[in-house]
Copies of this chain bind each other. A is one copy, B any other.
Amino acid sequence: MASQTKAMQKKISVVDSDETQKTVPLLADTAGFATNEDGTCPIREVLDRVGDTWSLLVILNLQQGTVRFNALRRLIEGISQRMLTVTLRSLERDGLVLRIVRPTSPPEVEYSLTPLGMSLAKPIDGLGQWAVDNRHMMREERARFDAQQ
């Protein structure tokens, strides 16, 4: 996911000259967290961190408990060794994943969710549940759209 552009950091001015102002009130009043004072957007701030290809899948799979590196690699079919490393390091950096190294030979490295990571897993589960419930409908809609144009 792309990082924020400089333009996104600017303050926004929603005051409109025409009647759209009436039907489109200030964003913060309705959405609540689509934007905030300093011009950043909490949703984007989170998605810039866990919205990449693999982060959510890693978090989801760590919900089961503690998993070692290669076990995790097998769980998440299709992830490369490099991307698992990069993703885990990023999640660890944000305090979402705990990394424990056991200095044995061969080395054992265990990964698990921190309390913060566990709390994030909940809203992610909400998305996942929506996905399960509605993916068929999305496929149908898409097929219809593609058919008629």
Contacts and interface: CB of A to CB of B under 8 A. Distances in A.
Contacts of A86: none
A21 B85 CA distance: 21
Quick one: copies of this chain in the complex? 2
Interface residues on A, range: 35 or more
Interface in A75-98: 75, 77-78, 92-96
A103 to B, nearest CB: 17
Interface of A: 1-2, 4-5, 7-8, 10, 12-14, 16, 20, 23-25, 27, 30-36, 39, 41-47, 49, 51-53, 56-57, 60-61, 63-68, 71, 74-75, 77-78, 92-96, 116, 119-120, 122-124, 126-132, 134-135, 137-138, 140-142, 144-146
5 contacts: A12-B77, A34-B57, A42-B131, A123-B126, A127-B127
